Structure formats: C-alpha cells, structure tokens
Amino acid sequence: MAIEIVGPGHLLLTGEALAFLEALETRFGPVRQEILRARSERQHRLDTGSLPDFLPETASVRQGTWTVDPVPPDLADRRVEITGPVDAKMMINALNSGARVFMADFEDATTPTWRNLLDGQANLVDAYRRTLRLETPDKTYQIGPTPATLMVRPRGWHLSEKHVLVDDGRMSASLFDFGLYLFWGGRAALEAGSGPYFYLPKLESHLEARLWNDVFVWAQEHLGIPVGTIKATVLIETVLAAFEMDEILYELRRHSAGLNAGRWDYLFSMIKKFRNHAGFVLPDRNQVGMTAPFMKAYTELQVATCHKRGAHAIGGMAAFIPNRRDVEVTENALARVRQDKKREAGQGCDGTWVAHPDLVPVAMEEFDAVLGAAPNQLDRLRPDVSVDASQLLDVTVAGGTITLDGLRSNVRVGLRYLTSWLAGSGAVGIDNLMEDVATAEIARSQIWQWVRHGVSTADGTPITADLVRSMLTEELAAVPAETAEQAAGVFDEVALSADFVEFLTLPAYELID
C-alpha cells in the first residue's frame, strides 16, 4: 500500500478508510499542487502591479439566469450559526447552544495535532449518533434533544497532513479532513436524517471551487451516495474570491449551500495580497470595521450575488465575547454584537456567526426581528447593489491611524495566540475578543506591512523591527507558558522576515505532534 500513517493508529483508520484516503490523494493531489502554483503566480502578478478585476472570460456566467440547487430542510433556516473547535466539551456546548447550525472547525479554531484531528473526527460520528458525552468532576456534558445542524470545516488547500504519507509525500490536509469525515461522519449524518455539510475555507478562485466540486462528485460516487447530497458553504475570505462569487457558486451549483462573509480572513487577505503596495497600508485593526468601504462593498455584493442565485448569504463573526465575571465587559460585548447583527440582518443576510453560546440569544433576536417566521431572506434580491472593482479595493478608513497601542496589541495577540495554538488550543479569548488563526494572521501581517513600508505611528514613532522585537521581549515576560518561547520565535519569523510567510500555521505546524 502506498499510504503510510506516521503516528499512533486509530479505530477510524481502517483498511477501507485508508484506501479511500489514498484514492482521494492520488486522484486530486496533483490538481491541488497546480492550484498552489497558480496562487503563487497570481501573487507575483499582484506584487508587480496587477490589480484584480472581474474576469472577462466568465462574463457569461455572471450574466446568466442559473440558480443553485435547493438545500435540504435542515439547512433552510440558518439564522444563527455558532463555530468552534472539535473537542467534546466545545462541541456539546455548541450543539446545545440554541443556534440553528454548529460549524465544527478543523481549520482556524483547532490546533491540528494528530490527537486533536482523530479525536475530533470520532466526536463527529458520536455527535450524529447522540452518544457524544463528557464526564468531568463538576459536570456531565451530553447532547440535548434539539441540537444544531452540524457542518464541518476542513483545512484549506494550502495545508498538508504530515502524519499521512501517500507515495512518500504528505497528503493534502483538506482531502484528509474531508475524506475521513465523509467516510465515517458523513455516512453517520445520513443515517441520522441529516447530511454531509461543509464549509470551505480560503478559496481564491472559481477553479479552486471546481476542484472541490470534482472531489465531491467522485467521493459520492465512490461511496454510493447520491450526487448532490453534499452541501457546502464557501467562505468568501480572500479578496480575490470576492471578484468570483458568481463563478464559485456556479461551479458548486449542485452542492452549494451559499457563501459566508469570512471577515477576519478577508481583512488578512487584503493586507497579504497587496503587501508590497504602500497604498494598501491599513490602520489599527480595531479601527477597520464593517463600514469601511472595501468591507461594506464585498458584503453587500455577497448578499446580492447569493440571492440572485437562490443561495444563502451568511454574515460574519463578531470577535467580541462576554465575560461572565465582568458585567461591564459583557454589556459592551452584547451591545457591540447586537449592533453588528442588526446591520447584517438589515443588509439581507440569511444568517450570521457567533463564537460563544451566550451570544446566540442576542443574534437570534436581531434576525428574528427581520425574518419572523420566514426561514431566510432569499426573496430579497437587492437590485440596489452595484459594486465595481474600485469599491472592492477602496481601503480608505476615515480617521484611521496607526498607534503604539495598536502595535503592542498586535504583538500581544500574536504571541499569546501562538502560545495557545502550540499548546494544542486553537481558539482563545484574549482581551475580551475571541482570537483564532484569522485574527492572529491580521496581527502579524499588519506588523509586517507597517515595517515593510516604514510607517510611523500617529505620535511620530517609526515602526521598526527593533521596536517590534523590544515589545515582543516585554510581552514574552508576561507569558509563563512552556510554549511561549517557541511562539515568540514563530511570531518573529512570520511578522518580521524579509519575505512574507504565506500562512503562520505553516512554520507553526512543524512544531506540534
């Protein structure tokens, strides 16, 4: 057999399951490599002055009257979705939260240790069978009678799985997460009366959506599942994908469950893709909200595009989280989340994301106020929306500034998040915000951008590598965790290296088991 497991075995890694994974990688791994090469070539064109625009060669798709296939009943109403990692406690709490959908996240909220991945996959199967349970000295956690509909986010095309070798090369992490889930959890979902539902991260073009569609068709045929059973929501979390929303829906039209506005990865993408352009330097992260021109333009275009095609438009994540020990922090978080969800519901979104069970009622109230008894707003077509390329690239932030506090916050968030990630936890509350890979990416990429372009803070302090390293040393002294030194090393590399590191998880992944 050409597939090899480099790590402990697991009850899910049967001969049949491994053969399925091997076939997936053998068939689609080379196409994935072509996708990654195309990304690199596209980045080179951006670095040398090219700017994205709507594709002339796919104008007929944008002008067509096609629609996506309808979704199953348990995906018709998605007014509030909760996201989180795949450990048992978090999954049970999310499934019991009152949200309509729970997205189990192998991507940004889970550190992909081998144990986390395999335990998470087993937890998915147990969740469908209603046997997922956790006993602690203080409490018993078990799934209630009306859990949320379960969706799964595999890792992105850029990541590999070092514990699974096919012909001596690492398997695609996307294909591993997808394949092992579909083989076990997806079929358990069908037995439970639901289905294999996915979120697809970090796509940069409709050709990447085409690859996913080809994977879906082949996998369903291989396992004897009717083609079209799989449903997938694509996260529009890269600026390049924003120019191809119609085309992405078209490629997945038999399997589409809509688009989601992945706002924090989108902000990271804007910095990353135009990192060598001084005109795209952004102010402090906390000053770039959803009313910034480029953020507003892409979310309004998302809603208009989705509804034109009969697809759900799901809003993004508010980073604020409540603190049950601090009333003032909690009141502020609830007020900020309420404002954000009211805006999304009014904009025409069919649902939204939250990261904490305490935020579900607030988000639900705002969407209930707009939706009432209707499951969604698919009939709201938004003919008033007209977005051109210049609006999608307008990074003007009125009154925006770069401050020393903003710089230090980025250093602190990046260091503390990486410390947690390397210790095995991929979602962590820092300074009353829920941080995951996406927000850590913003933190380190902003620093890289500011140093690269020699900007100064509002008070005239030049932002240099020496200043950043000085702050990093100070922040490191306040983080006693064993993984902090390693985290500081990774952060220095991804924030200050001469060449931009595409994803911080690439070097960090080599440091975990």
Q: Which one from 32, 39, 100, 153 is the annotated catalytic residue?
A: 153
Alpha helices in 372-403 (DSSP H): 389-392
Annotated catalytic residue 42: no
For residue 337, which amino acid is it?
Answer: V
Torsion region of 90: left, alpha or beta (phi above 0 gives left; psi -120 to 50 gives alpha): alpha
Residue 180 CA neighbour count, 13 Å, CB half: 27
Residue 378 neighbours by CB under 8 Å, 6+ apart = 307, 310, 311, 312, 350
Instruction: With beta carbons less than 8 A apart as the criterion, state whether 287 and 400 touch.
Output: yes
E strand segments, 294-368: 313-317, 351-354
The CA–CA distances, whole Å, from 274 to 44, 45, 323, 365 equal 11, 11, 36, 38
CA nearest neighbour of 17 among 160, 183, 187 = 183
Tokens of 460: 């005239």
Annotated active-site residue 153? The verdict is yes
Give the pairing of strands 433-435 and 428-430: antiparallel
Pull the structure tokens for residue 489: 């090393």
As given in the structure block, the two tokens for residue 43 are 């980045």
- Catalytic residue list: 153, 436
